[in-house]
Structure 1
């Protein structure tokens, strides 16, 4: 395996290792802000705040307006995927746990990636699906099932502890948690 391929794989693994932390921190942020969509917006704003100075430091040239006008319509859909992923992570990570959520994400990514590769969608070079790749995806799906099967569900006592933590956070002066604690107690009455 050439060194550049190995380096690329290591960078991809490093980037992937950040995703569960993103999902978990955004899930807590959603609770603090009172709604997952606010956390999605904050997360995307932080991303923009980080990428803008990076563009400036790397002296990336500004895009040409003429090129933007001739781009395929689907080049603008990447942001939609980001919102879908971040919102799903905010809602599902607390319910499923980080490992279960991420293994399902990876399974979904592999299935859609195989379709994109096989048909050369979105301007990529076609890479036909063959038995080795199918077996690899089946192993990922089996792994997803195993991780999910052996992940204990959140017992009712833990859910009550989360509600208590929200209520105690409200007592400590966090208005967002006060609102959530009040909403939870009113729905249980």
Structure 2
């Protein structure tokens, strides 16, 4: 079957693919619950509340020891920004997925991630090891942006082919 070395290599890749695979459903659910509750911010709040409850349950079930908060409070200022950025992503998903479609929203998210990641690598921010911007990496970013345009575009298709036109919006 799989050797331990193979499993160490395959498991993170499989987990990352699964994490990416669930994002269209998360974005669609956040948008739908936001519409149902009357505002996209309620959709974001509902999503983050459920997420918090799931993480709390996992901490309890797995009996994860309490963190050393003193040590964490001595860390750099950006140590805590992940929650703010996560909330921004969830709110954007709730606000924009029904307008852009799941593919449209996520291809723009991926384009933003790649551009920012290449810059973060280049400048070595937030403890990342510096990886200089090269012509090959820049070409990769350009190709991703071209792919984003192809996925988001409505090249000659009628209005029924639009991701937003095909979705029946609930009344209210």
TM-score tier, shorter chain, comes to: 0.7 to 0.9
Question: Residue deviations 1:71-128, cap 9 Å, x none?
Answer: 1111111111111111111111111111011000000000111111122211122222
Structure 1 match to 2:51: 47
Structure 2 match to 1:123: 127
| Contact in 1 for aligned 2:41/2:95 (Cα 8 Å) | no
Alignment of 1:1-189 (within 5 A): 3=6, 4-150=8-154, 152=162, 154-155=164-165, 162=169, 165-166=170-171, 180=172
Structure 2 match to 1:171: none
Local SS of the residue matching 1:97 = helix
For structure 2, the 5+ residue unaligned runs are 155-160
Q: Number of paired residues? A: 161
> CA–CA distance in 1 between the matches of 2:73 and 2:92?
31
For structure 1, the 5+ residue unaligned runs are 167-179, 181-189
Rg bigger for which structure?
1
> CA–CA distance in 1 between the matches of 2:9 and 2:143?
23
> CA–CA distance in 2 between the matches of 1:5 and 1:83?
31
Normalising by structure 2, what TM-score? Answer: 0.85
More helix by share: 1
| Contact in 1 for aligned 2:101/2:164 (Cα 8 Å) | no
Question: Residue deviations 1:33-80, cap 9 Å, x none?
Answer: 111111111111101110112112222221113202211111111111
Local SS of the residue matching 1:60 = coil
Provide the alpha-carbon RMSD of the alignment. 1.9
> CA–CA distance in 1 between the matches of 2:72 and 2:12?
29
Local SS of the residue matching 1:63 = coil
